[in-house]
């Protein structure tokens, strides 16, 4: 097999960067953190391009890196915020989301890790259940379970009486 052209990664970057940053923003709640996550994911893709370029969907691999690293970044940010609170006696909040979105994304970030990731990928990044499964490296049925649990928890957290249990895409 021949080594893919360097331009393939450039094309992937141009095509996917905005949506990868948006995904990272949904998971982290931080604009600068989202950009850092996306840049780190594409840098990792660059380093492993000989391998990543052979995958059926290199963009899914980049998203998986973002999802996995977002967990570490959120933990690190929480630890930093706790330390700053102790030192300064008050906590600085990251840049605010629009009011209509902030409550929802706070509730998403309170979900367990996998349901939060599945919800963000499916509803924010508009990926199908099969695509979410590929990004998270789990079965489509497991994605459906995480989406169901996530929707139930979000409905409860947001005070919604009913949710639509229609078949997932």
Supply the pLDDT for residue 142. Answer: 96
**Cα angle: 81, vertex 77, 132; to 5 degrees:** 145
User: What CA–CA distance (Å, rounded) separates 109 from 132?
Assistant: 17
pLDDT in tens, 114-160: 999 999 999 888 899 999 999 999 999 999 999 999 999 988 888 88
| 3-class SS of residue 93 | coil
pLDDT in tens, 1-31: 334 455 699 999 999 999 999 999 988 888 8
Contact 23, 120 (CB under 8 A): yes
Supply the pLDDT for residue 145. Answer: 96
pLDDT of residue 166 exceeding 60, the answer is: no
Higher pLDDT, 97 or 17: 17
Supply the pLDDT for residue 45. Answer: 95
Q: All domains of the chain, ordered by start, with CATH? A: 1-95 (no CATH), 97-169 (1.10.10.10)
Supply the pLDDT for residue 167. Answer: 47
Mean pLDDT in the chain? 82
Dihedral sign from CA coordinates of 138, 141, 145, 150: positive
Supply the pLDDT for residue 95. Answer: 57
Contact 145, 167 (CB under 8 A): no
User: What CA–CA distance (Å, rounded) separates 15 from 60?
Assistant: 13
Model confidence at 85, in pLDDT bands (50, 70, 90)?
A: low
Contacts of 42 (CB under 8 A, 6+ apart): 9, 13, 17, 20, 62
User: What CA–CA distance (Å, rounded) separates 103 from 80?
Assistant: 22
């Amino acid at each position: 097999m021949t080594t893919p052209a360097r331009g393939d990664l450039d094309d992937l970057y141009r095509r996917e960067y905005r949506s990868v940053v948006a995904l990272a923003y949904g998971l982290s709640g931080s604009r600068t953190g989202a950009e850092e996550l996306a840049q780190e994911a594409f840098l990792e893709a660059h380093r492993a391009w000989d391998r990543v370029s052979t995958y059926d969907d290199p963009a899914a691999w980049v998203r998986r890196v973002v999802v996995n690293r977002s967990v570490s970044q959120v933990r690190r940010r929480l630890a930093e915020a706790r330390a700053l609170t102790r030192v300064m006696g008050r906590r600085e909040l990251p840049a605010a989301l629009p009011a209509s979105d902030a409550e929802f994304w706070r509730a998403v970030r309170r979900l367990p890790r996998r349901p939060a990731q599945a919800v963000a990928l499916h509803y924010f990044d508009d990926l199908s259940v099969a695509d979410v499964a590929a990004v998270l490296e789990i079965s489509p049925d497991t994605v459906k379970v995480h989406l169901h649990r996530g929707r139930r928890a979000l409905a409860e957290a947001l005070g919604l009486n009913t949710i639509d249990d229609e078949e997932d895409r």
